[in-house]
């Protein structure tokens, strides 16, 4: 993979070719590239909000045909049906989670040589689960941390999103945004979308004064 997927709002872009790889996510990307040759049936990608976990879940879904499910829906899901087909499942956003349902799903996927990708804010081995069998499986699962985007990646994301929206933005505007805005994928997407809307509404280009106004209003 060469780039990181972005939820562009106006155009979904989750393929592997839409990745921007940086030190904060390169280990996670390398593990997804190894699929389906993981050492076991499970893999966890974990990190703080805004680091891109959900984007990676969609990339895995596109690449593997995985069923994407939220933890709260796991207890009511028909687990055997989830494990059917190609046997690939992505669980996005845990805990809390129904421990017995998760254990049953893990065992079904292992039996059918499928895979379970877990995306969460904390490494599964630290969840403090009560079922010993589930705890042992989670502890043995490779867990890869994803950090928030650094300045280099934020700059790359800004340039890509502006280009996707066909916005001509000067380098000093991008440099200002990199220094002043929150470092998260959601913040980058939100800021570019708002600048696009304001530029259209005011019939003016995205300038440094406009960028400063938007950033200051969001931090007020």
| Domain boundaries defined on the chain | 6-145, 151-219
Average pLDDT, integer, range 122-147:
95
Question: Quick one: pLDDT at residue 13?
Answer: 47
- Are 196 and 164 in contact by the 8 Å Cβ rule? The answer is no
Residue-level pLDDT at 15? 53
Average pLDDT over the chain, rounded to whole? 88
**So what's the pLDDT on residue 5?**
39
pLDDT reading at 207 higher than 80: yes
* 35, burial (CB in 10 Å: exposed 0-12, middle 13-18, buried 19+): middle
**Mean pLDDT, residues 27-48 taken together:** 95
- Looking at the chain, the whole-number percentage of residues with pLDDT higher than 90 is 62
Is pLDDT of 1 > 70? no
Does 14 or 12 have the greater pLDDT score? Answer: 14
pTM (whole model) above 0.75: yes
Superfamily assignment of 6-145 in CATH?
P-loop containing nucleotide triphosphate hydrolases (3.40.50.300)
- pLDDT tens figures, 49-108: 888 898 899 889 989 999 999 988 998 888 888 888 788 999 998 888 999 999 999 999
Write down the pLDDT at residue 54.
86
Q: Is the pLDDT of residue 142 over 70?
A: yes
pLDDT digits (tens, 9 = 90+) for 174-205: 999 999 998 888 889 899 999 999 999 999 99
DSSP state, residue 16: G
16 — pLDDT class (breaks 50, 70, 90) = low
Q: Report yes or no: 83 and 36 within 8 Å, Cβ to Cβ.
A: no
On the CB side of 20, CA atoms within 13 Å amount to 19
Report the DSSP pairing between strands 67-69 and 88-94.
Answer: parallel
CB-CB neighbours of 135 under 10 Å: 17
Give the integer Cα–Cα distance in Å for 177 and 91: 33
Q: Can you say how many angstroms the Cα of residue 156 is from the centroid of all Cα atoms in its chain?
A: 16
């Amino acid at each position: 993979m060469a780039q990181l997927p972005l939820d562009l709002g106006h155009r979904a872009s989750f393929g592997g070719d839409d990745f921007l790889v940086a030190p904060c996510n390169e280990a996670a990307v390398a593990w997804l590239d190894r699929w389906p040759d993981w050492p076991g049936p499970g893999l966890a990608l974990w990190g703080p909000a805004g680091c891109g976990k959900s984007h990676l879940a969609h990339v895995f879904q596109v690449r593997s045909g995985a069923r994407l499910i939220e933890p709260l829906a796991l207890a009511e899901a028909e687990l055997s049906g989830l494990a059917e087909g190609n046997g690939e499942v992505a669980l996005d956003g845990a805990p809390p989670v129904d421990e017995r349902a998760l254990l049953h799903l893990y065992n079904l996927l292992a039996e059918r040589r499928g895979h379970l990708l877990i995306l969460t804010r904390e490494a599964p081995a630290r969840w403090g689960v009560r079922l010993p069998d589930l705890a042992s499986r989670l502890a043995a699962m490779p867990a890869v941390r994803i950090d928030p985007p650094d300045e280099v990646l934020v700059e790359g994301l800004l340039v890509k999103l502006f280009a996707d929206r066909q916005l001509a933005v000067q380098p000093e505007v991008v440099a200002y945004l990199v220094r002043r805005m929150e470092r998260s994928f959601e913040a980058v997407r939100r800021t570019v979308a708002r600048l696009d809307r304001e530029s259209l509404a005011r019939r003016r280009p995205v300038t440094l004064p406009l960028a400063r106004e938007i950033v200051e209003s969001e931090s007020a």
